[in-house]
Homo-oligomer: A and B are copies of this chain.
Amino acid sequence: MTLNPPESEMNVSLMLFYSLNKTLRTIQKSLETAIRSYGLNATEFSVVRLLYSMGNQPIQKIGDKISIASSSTTYVIDKLEKKVLLERIPCPNDRRIVWASLTPKGRQLMDAIFPNYTAAVHKVLDGLNFDEKKEFITTLKKLDRYAENFK
């Protein structure tokens, strides 16, 4: 990178970061009502959604993927287990590991709500057309891949 970037380049970076925050919050807010109507909060939904599309996961992986602390993961999983949407399954090979697995009830719930959720996401993102979205994703991934170097 430039050793002493001009003021305006710095400002564009600040603005990008600000816009990224702002846009995501707007989108999240617009989806919140739908998610709440499923009887879940955003974190619970992201866990169930992860298991639904990726299959059973070790608890640790779940926290990594949705970026919450391990103690928070325990808390969410406890709640979902109480709602009988998922269950803990000890891993026989490695007894440190516990898998989270959707119950039939959890899978049925997702079968019922996922199309609605998908449609809601699609609807709120309709400010971009198909090609714009694909290009936007490419740029996001480029940003993410680079930023991963500074974890």
Contact = CB atoms under 8 A, between A and B. Distances in A.
A121 B18 CA distance: 10
Interface in A33-89: 67
Contact of A147 (B127, B147, B148): B127
Q: Is the interface of A mostly helix, strand, loop or mixed?
A: helix
A95 interface: no
A125 B137 contact: no
A16 B146 CA distance: 18
Interface residues of A, number: 50
B20 A23 contact: yes
A25 interface: yes
A20 B134 CA distance: 12
27 contacts: A1-B126, A12-B130, A12-B134, A12-B137, A13-B118, A14-B118, A14-B122, A16-B133, A16-B136, A19-B137, A19-B141, A19-B144, A20-B23, A20-B24, A22-B140, A22-B144, A23-B144, A24-B24, A26-B144, A27-B143, A27-B147, A123-B150, A124-B146, A127-B145, A128-B142, A128-B146, A136-B136
